[in-house]
Chain A
Amino acid sequence: MANFLVTRPNHDETTDALAQWAGQIIKLAKEKQFTVFDLFSNKATRKMFLSYVHKHPILIFLNGHGNSDVITGQNNEPLLSMGDEIHELVQSILYARSCEAGRTLGPMLTMKGLRAFIGYKRKFFFFRSSDHTTHPLEDPYVKQFLEPSNRVVSTLLKGHSALEAYQRSQTEMRRNFQKMLISSQTFESRFMAPYLWSNMTSQVIFGDKDAKVSS
Chain B
Amino acid sequence: MSSNNVSQSDNQELQEQLKELAEARISVMPTNMRLSVGSSEYSKEELLKHIHAGDEVGKEIIAAQLDFLKALATGAIYDNG
Q: Which residues of A contact B (CB under 8 A)?
A: 12-14, 17, 65, 76, 99, 122-131, 141, 167, 170-171, 174, 177-178, 181, 187-188, 191, 193-195, 197-198, 201
A130 touches B34 (CB 8 A): yes
A198 touches B67 (CB 8 A): yes
Chain A residues within 8 Å of B81, by CB: 167, 170-171, 174
In the complex, the chain B residue whose C-beta lies closest to that of A192 is B33
B30 interfacial by beta-carbon distance below 8 Å: yes
Known: A171-B81, A177-B77, A188-B30. A194 touches B41 (CB 8 A): no
B80 touches A174 (CB 8 A): yes
Q: Count of A-B contacts with CB under 8 A?
A: 81
Q: Which residues of B contact A (CB under 8 A)?
A: 28-41, 60, 63-65, 67-68, 71, 77-78, 80-81
Q: How far is the CA of A96 from the CA of B33 in the complex (A)?
A: 25
Known: A171-B81, A194-B64, A198-B67. A127 touches B33 (CB 8 A): yes
Which of A127, A178, A187 contacts B36, CB < 8 Å?
A: A127
Minimum Cβ distance to chain B for residue A193 (Å):
7
